[in-house]
Amino acid sequence: MILLGENPTSGAVIEPQQTADENAASAADARGASGMDAAIADEIKEQIERLIARAAKVGAWGQAEEYCRSRFKGPHLAYALEELRIAKDEARTKQTERKAA
């Protein structure tokens, strides 16, 4: 299954034209500032969840981190890197448990 931002022929991630922070600004214009925070937070979380799922599938944690650093800024970046670290640690724990069994 091909996910948003993924090149189906090479497996490389294609950079979108706008960063998450620019998308937030566009959403603010469309909805007004009142509903922006919750909607953007959910959108960012969904993007990060998809990224983590792809990284976990093939063990591409370094590439996922690079993508986060190029895509997100400020609190969005901090959140993305923390979620990525947690997922990576969980994947390593599961792998260690499988080897021990």
Check whether 1 has a pLDDT greater than 60.
Answer: no
Render pLDDT for 63-89 as a digit per residue (tens, 0 to 9).
999 999 999 999 999 999 999 999 999
pLDDT at residue 41, rounded to an integer: 83
pLDDT at residue 98, rounded to an integer: 85
Render pLDDT for 38-54 as a digit per residue (tens, 0 to 9).
545 899 999 999 999 99
CA distance 100 to 86: 21
pTM: 0.60
Cβ-contact 52, 3 below 8 angstroms? no
